Structure 1
């Protein structure tokens, strides 16, 4: 029996407050309105940004809310005026959607749409309502997607259609972590062959950056992390060396500077820690180093900046979602996966049933997982 046009009861992980475990609830998911799409979510990665939100690291977050923003699934139904997809199409949900009409979207160097919810965290559809409810009470969405649920409803600009041959439990990672780390190396920093790179933080984003540095032809790739259990995987993916700051008596930037004969050509901070951002900047060559911030700090944190770090010739920049224009570029990444050019499966440490979501968060917090992927029935 078709569910189109009807309210669907769906299992969802609902967050009721900061620093509280997620609660599996049965929620009601209303049908899509005009220019909206309802998606059956099949796989969702657990990203540090979800935990960042739960810990209060964002400027605002409205509860109750269904988190999750790294998902892939199949279109269940579409609202009036939707032509880009139809029921049965496979899609990646876009946590940083692009309308492809505003000034930011149309700029060749931008991938940040004026209409998305990143940084605003309103948690509503474009018409300022929500499609989630429980016992008549409104539930907010998250980053235009909300993937910690069996069914979600998104505005039309928050999906991209992909090849049906692609494994959803892998391509979900393109929705955030993989694209962020991989794209920042190739699109933002534009790492050159024969160069030296240092990556601070070997989680999902950092490991993706390592993969990209190897593909770009970097000959020295140093991974920095305080968890040595991550080092074997990092070396498998491309690190030529891994360094634990706790093993050294001198500051880690001095260690890296010595190992790279004056500082790395490229540095990437993938943690969201302002102290590590400083260390990463200082680890790059003072005359020509490129330092890129990827990690998201708490909204109250501030980066202390010595202007001389830049006046000597360094460049400092940030990147969001790897500078990919998601609607255009994500399908291309899926095609590269299918062609065997990238290996997303190497980033998946665990696949867990959706009901074990809190276990998945614990694995991430304890440094046991590069990425845990939740599988919905």
Structure 2
């Protein structure tokens, strides 16, 4: 059965780019970056985001659906599925563990991850238009939460936690952060679903830069509140920063629910993307269908199964750190393909 719900606007493309990456990076990246560059990590995270934005613009300007036409291309798609399943499964375990720790301490992690997988699978089966509409809604919800948290957190900032500013180690930290961004490969396969002929690369670049600035600001405020030393030992400092806020009037009994809502929405976007693109690539490259329901279910089951493997948050973080080599390979392939495409275009002129 063909998907009819398959065209998205440029604004929805931008919402997808931001929501598919921002929240997971904001939660998972600060600790490892603080260990590399201390109080200056927010600078290099922002710089890394801009570099990745350029790669994302390259990716969205190409049509990866041409890979479905050859055996070698279909093999590449299957390998990409393996990468997506591994990364999504690890993040699913991190999400379920944080929710268990912050809200549902008596609920088994595998139940939370299973429920989230089913929700993501249901949304993925509805098509990319449903994903895009959900991303638009989630973006505004997340933006409101962030504005609220930024305003209140600013009162608890200690500027000395951001000092001294230093460029030492910036090159290494920047590239470490660049290879920590997962999901850029999705943009290779989104061109057939774009509504209209307007150039998407500039829109992708602007969305990526906005995401970079938001990420840098989030890490800056979190570092200013906790300090680099504390950031290095906190697994999810961004989710705990709201607990440092002293409300003049107690708005909620548990204020950590506010930032947890941000994490749930962000994690849903990332995990839904993983389920959707795994199912899409397996369907297109494996059985030449737009959507094979069985393969979508198999994708969700494999991601959930991977989430059962890590035994702790520390193990999850270590696995994500090791999986960065796969991002390096993907980025190198995207840049090479983009340069080749431009070279062919110049020769044709």
**Same topology, TM > 0.5:** no
What is the TM-score normalised by the length of structure 1? Answer: 0.23
What is the TM-score normalised by the length of structure 2? Answer: 0.24
Q: Normalized per residue, which structure has more strand?
A: 1
Q: Normalized per residue, which structure has more helix?
A: 2
Structure number with the bigger relative contact order (C-alpha 8 A, sep ≥ 6) is 2
